[in-house]
Amino acid sequence: MSANKESWGSRVGLILAMAGNAVGLGNFLRFPVQAVQNGGGAFIIPYLVCFLVMGIPLLWIEWSMGRFGGRYGNHSTPYIVDTMGKHRLWKYIGVFGIWTNIAVASYYCYIESWTLSYVFHSIMGTFNGLDQNGVATFFDTYVSIGESTMGIPYEAVFFYILCLLLNTWILSKGLSGGVERVAKVGMPLLILFGMFLAYKGFTIKAGEAGAAFDSAVGLNFLWTPDYSQLWSPTVWLAAAGQIFFTLSVGMGTIHCYASYVRSKDDIALNAMSAGWMNEFVEVVLGASILIPISIGYLGIDRVTELVQQGGLGLAFKTLPYLFAQWGEVLGAIAGVMWFGLLFFAGITSSLAMGTPWMGFLQDEFQWKRKSAAWSFGLIVLVLGMPTVLFFHYGVFDEYDYWAGTVSLVVFALAETILFAWVFGMGRGWREITAGADIKVPGIYKFIIKFVTPLLLLWVFIGSLVTPKGGDWAKAFAGDWVLDDSSIINKIKNTSLKRQLAEATDPAMIEHLQETLFFVNASRILLVAVFLGIAGLVYIAYKKRVREGRI
């Protein structure tokens, strides 16, 4: 008998929790950078197309799979997918839905801990009087283990553990008493903080508070369309990839949340509501803060350089300096709001990552909720500590690439094939529309069965054999040289080995050798965790057989 007696307290709470799961750090840090790098305003076209033909179908697939599995008492992906496809292999493919969450939470909570720390530093006025280089140096000091910026020994480790403890404690309170309550508070505050900062981004005036340009310059830079890039497969791959990041599909969290929905409750409108709320936060708020404010003070050329470093550099190394230009009081308020909204975006997502593991332990081994929650915290602590201790050796990036990127595509492709071709599109469509409060357009039968899996397959193959520099025209002309970002070259460590071969400075050679060691070690650790979870799934299967549940 399962110890899992969880349920959602209200429909609003469910939608906010699902939206909180989707609304994450990528909405504010990754989306604007992707837009700038892939055609500006033109990027929104492939982005919305991918949302309509891949994002929405995957939301419906995962919501309906979760509700279907929950009907049979399953609250984690191994046995949710096993319920839909009777081949014994499916339950092991479902391991991705637990493993991905644990692996992503291991480094995601580290970023989340930065935001928590930066809230305190904003209140304390740490960034007042620092120039941009000073703020950047502060960040580098913060992530250097053993350093302290506020008198706390091993400050990065301290805030990481504090953040994990907070996540674990909330998870121990359950869905309605913990996750739902945080979503009901965190999501409205996130939107409120975002609206204030977006307003500031829209009203920057050249010459005021040290601004060099009006807000229109930054907004035009972000949204001026470069239609020539619409024909680039690289741009479409980037748009499809962003959909994965922004909706949290292909992870197993949506399955788990939806498994606690009653069998006849609506999922069609709920999925759409959560999805479109995420799009509003990303496209409207996310695009109105990071890039426009940065360009208003630093100019296009400087921001273009910083964009190459990604959203993390702009968010943590640049914005604190810019907020300080608004004065001590307003700068502190803006800092608290910016890092506060990032924290709420982060924690509502990381809480979702704990539920598949907890659901699995409660269903299969009759663990109590609190024990399951604290076991999640302990596993994430052990797996995640290398991302903190060896941040400068590529461990963080390896976790992000394999667990937060590649595995999402692989599992999403597998679950789409399962839903549309194994479970059957007819049965699947009945699951999507059962109890629906909206009329689901019939065209989505065709999209889910053909368009979505083909698009996912294209994303995977495109990532597997990405040509150098993203030059697909040259590749198709016969000169196909793999880019360092391709999955194949990532496995082979092509970039690191080239840097090592070209290095002449002894210190750099030593650093690259250590980086190569830690990169390979992190992959071995991730594989070991996956195999460990697969082993537990096998034990659970044997237990079900003994108990006559199979």
pTM over 0.75: yes
H/E run at residue 165: helix 155-172
pLDDT at 292: 92
> In whole angstroms, what is the distance from residue 63 CA to residue 415 CA?
12
> HEC string of 430-460?
HHHHCCCCCCCCCHHHHHHHHHHHHHHHHHH
Q: Residue 148 sits in a domain of what CATH number?
A: 1.20.1740
Query: 205: left (phi > 0), else alpha (psi -120 to 50), else beta?
Result: beta
Burial class for 151, CB neighbours closer than 10 Å (0-12, 13-18, 19+): exposed
Amino acid identity at 545: V
CB atoms closer than 10 angstroms to residue 508: 13
Cβ proximity of 407 and 49 under 8 Å = no
pLDDT at 2: 63
Instruction: With respect to residue 1, please indicate whether it lies within any of the assigned structural domains.
Output: no
Instruction: With respect to residue 378, please indicate whether it lies within any of the assigned structural domains.
Output: yes
Which residue, among 218, 205, 240, has the nearest Cα to 32 in the 3D structure?
218
> In whole angstroms, what is the distance from residue 546 CA to residue 541 CA?
9
Cβ proximity of 72 and 267 under 8 Å = no
CB atoms closer than 10 angstroms to residue 29: 22
pLDDT at 81: 96
> In whole angstroms, what is the distance from residue 181 CA to residue 17 CA?
9
pLDDT at 3: 64
Instruction: With respect to residue 351, please indicate whether it lies within any of the assigned structural domains.
Output: yes
> In whole angstroms, what is the distance from residue 259 CA to residue 137 CA?
46
CB atoms closer than 10 angstroms to residue 301: 8
CB atoms closer than 10 angstroms to residue 500: 16
| Distance (Å) of CA 207 to CA 79, 319, 348 | 60, 18, 38
> In whole angstroms, what is the distance from residue 106 CA to residue 382 CA?
8
DSSP string, 367-422: --HHHHHHHHHHHHHHHHHHHHHTGGGTHHHHHHHIIIIIHHHHHHHHHHHIIIII
Give residue 156's domain range: 11-209+216-547
> In whole angstroms, what is the distance from residue 342 CA to residue 430 CA?
38
- Quote the tokens at residue 12: 């609003």
> In whole angstroms, what is the distance from residue 19 CA to residue 421 CA?
28
CB atoms closer than 10 angstroms to residue 249: 26
Cβ proximity of 63 and 271 under 8 Å = yes
Residue with tokens 């071995």: 524
Instruction: With respect to residue 188, please indicate whether it lies within any of the assigned structural domains.
Output: yes
> HEC string of 298-328?
HCHHHHHHHHCCCHHHHHHHCHHHHHHCCCH
pLDDT at 37: 85
Amino acid identity at 108: Y
Q: How many domains does the chain have?
A: 1
> In whole angstroms, what is the distance from residue 82 CA to residue 74 CA?
10
- Quote the tokens at residue 473: 């025209």
> In whole angstroms, what is the distance from residue 167 CA to residue 347 CA?
7
Mapping DSSP to helix (H, G, I), strand (E, B) and coil, where does residue 482 land?
Answer: strand
Name residues whose C-beta falls within 8 Å of residue 428's C-beta, 6 or more positions apart in sequence: 61, 64, 419, 420, 448
Query: 461: left (phi > 0), else alpha (psi -120 to 50), else beta?
Result: alpha
Alpha helices in 23-76 (DSSP H): 25-29, 31-37, 44-50, 56-71
DSSP class of 384: H
Instruction: With respect to residue 521, please indicate whether it lies within any of the assigned structural domains.
Output: yes
Instruction: With respect to residue 487, please indicate whether it lies within any of the assigned structural domains.
Output: yes
Instruction: With respect to residue 5, please indicate whether it lies within any of the assigned structural domains.
Output: no
Burial 278-293 (b: 16+ CB within 10 A, else e): bbbbbbebbbbbbbbb
Burial class for 308, CB neighbours closer than 10 Å (0-12, 13-18, 19+): exposed
pLDDT tens series, the chain, 550 aa: 566 777 888 888 889 999 999 999 999 999 998 988 888 888 999 999 999 999 999 999 999 999 999 999 999 999 999 999 989 999 999 999 999 999 999 999 999 999 999 999 999 999 999 998 999 999 988 888 766 677 777 899 999 999 999 999 999 999 989 999 999 999 999 999 999 999 999 999 999 888 999 999 989 988 888 888 888 888 888 898 899 889 999 999 999 999 999 888 999 999 999 999 999 999 999 989 999 999 999 998 888 888 887 778 889 999 999 999 999 999 999 999 999 999 999 999 999 999 999 999 999 999 999 999 999 999 999 999 999 999 999 999 999 999 999 999 999 999 999 999 999 999 999 999 999 999 999 999 999 999 999 999 999 999 999 999 888 889 999 999 999 999 999 999 999 999 999 999 999 999 999 999 999 999 999 999 999 999 999 999 999 999 988 7
Instruction: With respect to residue 4, please indicate whether it lies within any of the assigned structural domains.
Output: no
